[in-house]
A and B are shown apart, each in its own frame.
Chain A
Amino acid sequence: DTEVTQTPKHLVMGMTNKKSLKCEQHMGHRAMYWYKQKAKKPPELMFVYSYEKLSINESVPSRFSPECPNSSLLNLHLHALQPEDSALYLCASSQVNTAIYGYTFGSGTRLTVV
């Protein structure tokens, strides 16, 4: 299995809703990432998990809450989002040495906050 699977592919949620994005990989990668991409902008790093521990939080608002329950799963819990949070949310995984292997990406969740 050489894929990163993200669900759902599309999500529309209200500003008072609570929802979760899921990401799964079975490649034995020990680093997992959440990125946010707005139209015509580069993907921006949100969180990095290394060996199931949060290693980087790029000053992301607390309405985004990541969770890594095991080495194969990465969740992003969403609560009280704003319309400006509408974006493509990409998950990626990698071997720890990204300079050799790079990232494997999921296809993303297109989130719309109404």
Chain B
Amino acid sequence: ILNVEQSPQSLHVQEGDSTNFTCSFPSSNFYALHWYRWETAKSPEALFVMTLNGDEKKKGRISATLNTKEGYSYLYIKGSQPEDSATYLCAHNGNQFYFGTGTSLTVIP
């Protein structure tokens, strides 16, 4: 079993603040790193798939970076909005998917 860690476990920010959180993973046996956004009672929604060291992906106000040599990925949200409130889950894709425990984000209006 691979140890994928996410920090912080939970986060409360004010509307308009920018925020970021971390996914740490073993750098061995790496094919891809996936980020998902998961709202309560809904399906996890794919945000990004990143495969190459130094990858940067952007979708609106959300962006992510990848460092496969040191085994971490950052997810950034610029100008947080209440609708960004969700759990953000990362997954290390080697021979299997190994998920982190997620970062629960609450954006306070």
Residue of B nearest to A37 (CB): B99
B56-90 interface bits toward A, Cβ cutoff 8 Å, 1 = contact, 0 = none:
00000000000000000000000000000000010
Contact with B along A36-79 (1 / 0, CB 8 A): 00001111010010000000100000000000000000000000
Residues facing B in A76-114 (CB within 8 A) are: 90, 98-108
The smallest C-beta distance from A11 to any residue of chain B, in angstroms, reads 15
Q: Which residue in A42, A43, A104, A106 is a CB contact (below 8 Å) of B46?
A: A104
The number of chain B residues touching the other chain, given as a range, is 20 to 34
- Size of the chain A interface, CB-CB below 8 angstroms: 22
A42 close to B96 (CB less than 8 A): no
- Shortest Cβ gap from B86 to chain A (Å): 13
Number of A-B contacts (CB under 8 A): 54
In this assembly, does B107 line the interface, its C-beta being within 8 Å of a C-beta of chain A?
Answer: no
A-contact 0/1 string along B79-109, CB 8 Å cutoff: 0000000000101010011111110000000
Contact B44 A105, beta carbon cutoff 8 Å: yes
Residues of chain B within 8 A of A4, CB atoms compared: 43
Contact A45 B97, CB 8 Å, known A98-B32, A102-B49? yes
CB distance from A93 to the nearest CB of B (A): 11
C-beta contact mask, A1-17 vs B, less than 8 Å → 1, else 0? 00110000100000000
Tell me whether B49 and A42 are in contact (CB under 8 A).
Answer: no
Q: Which residues of B contact A (CB under 8 A)?
A: 4, 9, 31-32, 34, 36, 41-44, 46, 49, 51, 89, 91, 93, 96-102
Q: Which residues of A contact B (CB under 8 A)?
A: 3-4, 9, 40-43, 45, 48, 56, 90, 98-108
22 interchain pairs (CB within 8 A)?
A4-B43, A42-B89, A42-B98, A42-B101, A43-B89, A43-B99, A45-B96, A45-B97, A90-B44, A98-B31, A98-B32, A98-B97, A99-B49, A99-B51, A100-B51, A102-B46, A102-B91, A102-B93, A103-B46, A103-B97, A105-B44, A106-B43
